[in-house]
Amino acid sequence: MLLTSFPAGPLQANCYIVSRGPGTGCTVVDPGMDAMDSLRQVLSEQNLTPQAVLVTHGHFDHMWCAQDVAAEHGCPVWIHPADRHLLSDPMAAISTQSAAMLRQQLDITDVPEFIEPADVRDAVDGAQIEVDGLTFIVDHVPGHTPGTVFYRVDYDGPEDVSQIMFSGDFLFAGSIGRTDLTGGSHDQMQASLRDRVLPLADDIVVLPGHGPQSSVGRERATNPFLAEVV
């Protein structure tokens, strides 16, 4: 398995590229703001062709370039139906006042016209997404947004790891996603953590939407938000 990542945009959202190896089709997870130049470099260096874009949730820092990737490579974009409307209106996830403050803080002066990609598919709970020999399992985990999901894929490398989880803004190293934005729910977040994370194997690697990687076992032992729901 070939796995590459880079932080993109002023919010340093992690974009991931995963494939069976060089010279194959690949999956792009959460192509956010300013992701295209770094993404094109990785694709060129590894001779990869995007065959799917997986979006963990509809916030702009994780889907800003989803349409660009899809249009450039003719591939589908997968997102949960509850967040699908954010593909064409990502600022709907935050208040008008907050959106204005965010544009000023991040110096966003040129907001593109967001248009839903030509091929959008539903990343519903339990779905299995096949991309060039890799199978991504969808887990719906509302709380950060109504349509937040994480994607799991089996790992076949030398490390003692059974799966890799692309957790978006649901689960971080030592923390969890905020629930005070539009559509967020503390109660749903706690239920998602209890019902979807705690049953998972400790050796699953957690690749979050921001910051360093972790594992389910490490978070189970050290994450104070998981301790609340044990």
Question: Which domain CATH number covers 117?
Answer: 3.60.15.10
Total-model pTM: 0.93
**pLDDT at residue number 145:** 96
pLDDT along the chain (230 residues), means of 10: 95 96 98 96 98 96 96 98 94 66 60 86 98 98 97 90 97 96 94 97 98 97 92
C-alpha–C-alpha distance, residues 228 and 201, integer Å = 19
Tokens of 223: 């994450």
**pLDDT at residue number 176:** 97
Grouping H, G, I as helix, E, B as strand and the rest as coil, residue 87 is: helix
Question: Amino acid identity, residue 55?
Answer: V
What would the 3-class secondary structure string for 30-72 be?
CCCCCCHHHHHHHHHHHCCEEEEEECCCCCHHHHCCHHHHHHH
**pLDDT at residue number 96:** 57
Q: How many separate domains does the chain show?
A: 1
Q: Are 75 and 25 in contact (CB under 8 A)?
A: no
**pLDDT at residue number 127:** 98
Residue 199 structural domain: 2-229
